[in-house]
Structure 1
Amino acid sequence: MASLLLRTLLLLLASIQGCLVLSSKIVGGKPAIPHSRPYMVSLQVQGNHFCGGTLIHPQFVMTAAHCVNQINPQLMMVVVGAHNLEVPETVWQVFSVQRLYSNDYDDKNKLNDIALIELDRPATLNAEVQVAPLPTQGQSLPAGTQCLAMGWGRLGTMLPIPSVLQELNVTVVTFLCREHNVCTLAPRQRAGICFGDSGGPLICQGVVHAVDSFIIGGCASQRHPDFFARVSLYVDWINSILKKAEEKQEEEKDEEGLWQASGSSMGNP
């Protein structure tokens, strides 16, 4: 029975080589300085981290569409201000999901792998919780640009998930990449994103230029770059959603103010 199980596992592993694998962990990285990445978000179900995200507005998180397209939003929790996921801190802020937004995500071809999560209330910005800036619409990211990938994913395909946030210095490359992706490698290292960091940010020159999307063939294989969704293609779409949400909030405040004024003049309690 044991040998049959082993053969089955080996066949399964062999079958996925060369196939697209949704990525979610950092291989070959190092622990981040606690709370040094205050825009980093943990998406969780029943207290278990499953994807990363980036706080881009007090009430909006950007993540990968494949992270959320098949999950009931009512089951999701969003944690900001975290570093060690096994040790809750008073600086944690935990939210539920009010609404999800996607932009024609194509699961088959891994296109438009970007989504926005509207939180049930705005986050309180402080030293441990900050918003990451976006690039401009259409902004390019030249090959050779130095960036930072991060996440709470596995340290290797068969290694455990770390409790503390990991980060990795990577370089933007163009070989084998697609125009709508940003691709990276960690030069001279067996390192890269892996199973579990999906949805996390790629930070380049202080800006969140991309969202962790997928890998080909295996974690840190060095045969293929790591693939991220290029954020600069979606900035106008993102800003339109943020603007509509802010306008709606202003309308609700005005209506509440009118109701309170009307109630006061009528002498109601």
Structure 2
Amino acid sequence: MTRHLLALLLFLIILPPRYGCTEIIGGHVVSPHSWPYMAAIQRKNLTVCGGALVERQWVLTAAHCDWFRIRRTSTNKYVRTLSLPDSYEDTKPGTMCKVAGWGVTSSGKPSKYLQETTLKIVDRKTCQRKYKKYTKITSNMLCALGKKLYSKRDGDSGGPLICADRYSGIVSFGKGKRCGRRDMPGVYTRLTEKYIDWIKKIISLDRDP
């Protein structure tokens, strides 16, 4: 018998979006059912964060998205879980990635449909030069830049960063006044060995005996 009537949100303690820029601009509507693990975290029918269904009752998202309760889900051919990475190698610069969300689009309004865009990982030294004194880019972060006009805001925060078909990071933040600039990378929390081990431990403790 499950210990909880309501499903739990797994909130990874990650960097808050201090610059308020965590939305997709310049993306396109996804193909139907191409993101079967994507979760929309809503408040009053408004999507405020994204997340990834990592088990039937666990959504992995950003720490600041922890205001909500969700119902237990059921998996089918359209709803599937996203596996946590089973290796801990750093994602190399130049690796192609994708990200999706329902955040505000170039029209200035939240998207009614799930949007996605492609990105390329940039090295941390380059990323640090862009952010300068605003924040320190550490090995627990990934930086990615899109070829098209791209940025991200609250509606996309917490969503998964998929690199080379691997769950590699979580949407974190960008630099507010420069949101959408082609030369300004977004910052993502990297799923490191320490984080993944902790996540797996928390999930295992909540499983039925």
What value does the CA root-mean-square deviation take over the aligned residues? Answer: 1.8
More helix by share: 1
Please report how far the alpha carbon of residue 212 of structure 1 lies from its aligned counterpart in structure 2 after TM superposition: 0.4
User: In the alignment, which of 10, 35, 38 is matched to residue 37 of structure 1?
Assistant: 35
Residue 200 of structure 1 is matched in structure 2 by: 159
2:24–2:100 Cα contact (<8 Å) kept: yes
Runs (4 or more) in structure 1 with deviation over 3 Å come to: none
Contact persistence 1:147–1:172 (CA under 8 A):
yes
- 2:57 pairs, out of 59, 64, 77, with 59
Give the equivalent residue in structure 2 for 1:191: 150
User: Residue type of the partner of 2:76?
Assistant: N
Q: Does 2:159 align with 1:161?
A: no
Q: Would the aligned equivalents of 1:55 and 1:62 in 2 still touch at CA under 8 Å?
A: yes
Extract unaligned runs of 5+ from structure 2: 1-16, 129-136
> What is the letter of the counterpart of residue 54 of structure 2?
I
Counterparts of 2:188 and 2:170, CA distance in 1:
5
Q: Please name the residue that 1:253 is paired with.
A: none
- Structure-2 separation of matches of 1:166 and 1:204: 17
- 8 Å contact kept, 1:53–1:200: yes
The secondary structure found in structure 1 opposite 2:99 is strand
Describe the shift of the 1:198–1:240 C-alpha distance in structure 2 as closer, same or farther (beyond 3 A): same
Q: Could you tell me how far apart the structure 2 residues matched to 1:45 and 1:37 are?
A: 21
Tell me how far apart the structure 1 counterparts of residues 168 and 99 of structure 2 sit (CA, whole Å): 11
Q: C-alpha separation between the residues in 1 aligned to 2:109 and 2:42?
A: 17
Contact 1:53–1:199 under 8 Å retained in 2: yes
Task: Return the match for 2:101 from 146, 151, 161.
Answer: 151
Contact map agreement 2:21 2:151 (CA 8 A) in 1: no
Alignment-derived partner of residue 218 in structure 1: 178
User: Which residue number in structure 1 is paired with residue 198 of structure 2?
Assistant: 237
CA shift, 1:65, in A, is 0.9
- Distance change >3 Å, CA 137–CA 65, structure 1 → 2: farther
Gaps of 5+ in 1: 1-18, 79-94, 96-120, 251-269
Give the aligned partner of residue 88 of structure 2.
138
1:128 corresponds to which letter in structure 2? Answer: Y
Aligned partners of 2:206, 2:65: CA distance in 1, in Å? 22
Amino-acid identity (%): 32
**Distance in 1 (alpha carbons) for counterparts of 2:159 and 2:127:** 22
**TM-score between both structures, scaled by the size of structure 1:** 0.63
Provide the secondary structure at the position in 2 that maps to 1:212.
strand
Looking at structure 2, the residues matched to 213 and 42 of structure 1 have their Cα atoms a distance apart, in angstroms, of 16
In the TM superposition, residue 128 of structure 1 has moved relative to its aligned partner by: 1.3
Matched letter for residue 171 of structure 2: D
1:137: Cα distance to partner? 5.6
Bigger RCO of structures 1 and 2 (CA < 8 A, at least 6 apart): 2
- Work out the CA distance in 1 between the residues paired with 2:42 and 2:149: 28
Whole-Å separation in 1 of the counterparts to 2:187 and 2:42? 23
Aligned match of 2:7: none
Query: Which of 119, 135, 154 is the aligned partner of 1:170?
Result: 119
